[in-house]
Amino acid sequence: MATAGKVITCRAAVAWEPNKPMVMEEIQVAPPQAEEVRIKIVASAVCHTDLYHLFERMHKDGFPVVLGHEAAGVVESVGPGVTEFQPGDHVIPLFVSQCRECRFCKNPKTNQCERGWAAERYDVMAATESRFTCRGKKVLQFMGTSTFSEYTVMNQVSVAKIDPTAPLDKVCLLGCGVCTGFGAAVNTAQVEPGSTCAVFGLGAVGLAAVMGCQFAGAKKIFAVDVNPEKFEKAKVFGATDFLNPKDYDRPISAVLAELTAGGVDFSLECVGNVEVMRSALESSVKGWGVSSLFGGFKSKDGVPKMVQAYLDKKVKLDEFITHNMSLEQINEAFEVMKQGKCIRTVISVSPQ
């Protein structure tokens, strides 16, 4: 491509400081270095982790930054030593790397990797090195990805090549939330056919966990949320029973124990709240109940398989998307999420 080896100036939503709206800026994106790829981001969904970094965690060393980590795009150019990718490849950026060489990657019990942004400054959620500059200042790359930018640069261990026929504005959801929830049921909890499950929290991760429980053959899936408006959507993904903790004057774990003769076989907490985690754990039957908090996918291996499962109509993605917006509407998209009015908003970052 004509831009290969050159600095690209493009649009990005920059978070200059915590607890303030993002600003649309022109940023400079440097060419990829050794083992890196530069990606044109086509679509990026808004995840609560982006919102958390900006409005809740607010780590002073984590700014200025370009947020976004649940996306899909096309490889624009590659740096020296890159053999796995070439310009034109359709890809999904990964916030969990997979080098396939370290002791973690070679161990089937974990999906962690010794390489990637999380190896340093995990608390800041960004490595010190970045290929972004704006107004002469270095801008950090969030979780090694930064997809609220028309272009980003990533290490090849954090990129998955996908089927080029897959719609990028749908499969972008597989970069985080859907794989996390679905994998929590299928990989980590290893939900069994005929089992009874409870999913706490019916955001995108929770609905994906419901879908995973159904995929694994669970016979009864309790969807638990304080917002009953979410129950209809949970039904679409396979939930069979619905519980609102506000409807009971006793702990929801006691209600579930009563309904299931002692507790569910698998409970999945998809809220990230300590009290909810406790309810999930207490709802699992003693002895063999499993409570899971993460998806467990080996990223480079698992994400392309999930894309294929979507193309084969074995998993749903379209049903998660409640809003579509432009990059210029990014602050509005965050507001919609804050108010709990969306499951997933997909941002159109640049034309394909």
In the chain (352 residues long), the average pLDDT of successive 10-residue segments reads: 93 96 98 98 95 85 95 98 97 94 90 79 80 97 96 96 98 95 93 97 95 98 96 98 97 95 92 60 56 72 97 98 98 94 95 84
pLDDT for position 171 = 98
Q: Would you state the structure tokens that stand for residue 228, as one six-digit string?
A: 């009953």
Q: Helical H runs in 75-138?
A: none
User: What are the beta bridge partners of residue 247?
Assistant: none
The superfamily CATH assigns to domain 178-292 is NAD(P)-binding Rossmann-like Domain (3.40.50.720)
pLDDT for position 334 = 97
3-state secondary structure (DSSP) of residue 104: coil
pLDDT for position 89 = 98
Can you give the residue ranges of every domain in the chain?
A: 1-18+52-161, 178-292
Q: Would you state the structure tokens that stand for residue 235, as one six-digit string?
A: 């039904």
Task: Please give the model's pTM, rounded to 2 decimal places.
Answer: 0.92
3-state secondary structure (DSSP) of residue 298: coil
Are 171 and 252 a contacting pair, CB within 8 Å?
Answer: no
DSSP of 216-241: TT-SEEEEE-S-GGGHHHHHHTT--E
* Amino acid occupying residue 122: Y
Nearest by Cα to 148 from 249, 295, 21, 234: 21
- Which long-range contacts (C-beta less than 8 Å, at least 24 apart) are formed by 343-346? 343/203, 343/204, 343/207, 343/233, 344/45, 344/46, 344/173, 344/177, 344/204, 344/320, 345/45, 345/46, 345/321, 346/43, 346/44, 346/45, 346/169, 346/170, 346/172, 346/173, 346/321
Location of structure tokens 């950026």: 93
Report the distance separating Cα 214 and Cα 234, nearest Å: 11
Q: Render pLDDT for 45-77 as a digit per residue (tens, 0 to 9).
A: 999 889 988 998 777 889 999 999 999 999 999
Work out the angle between the directed axes of helices 252-259 and 274-283 (0-180°, nearest 10).
20
Q: Would you state the structure tokens that stand for residue 161, as one six-digit string?
A: 């090549």
| Ranges assigned E (strand) in 17-98 | 23-29, 36-45, 65-66, 70-78, 90-93
Q: Render pLDDT for 179-214 as a digit per residue (tens, 0 to 9).
A: 999 999 999 899 999 999 999 999 999 999 999 999
pLDDT for position 284 = 59
The superfamily CATH assigns to domain 1-18+52-161 is Medium-chain alcohol dehydrogenases, catalytic domain (3.90.180.10)
- Beta strand pairing status for 90-93 and 220-224? unpaired
Are 247 and 161 a contacting pair, CB within 8 Å?
Answer: no
Helix (H) / strand (E) containing 115: none
pLDDT for position 290 = 47
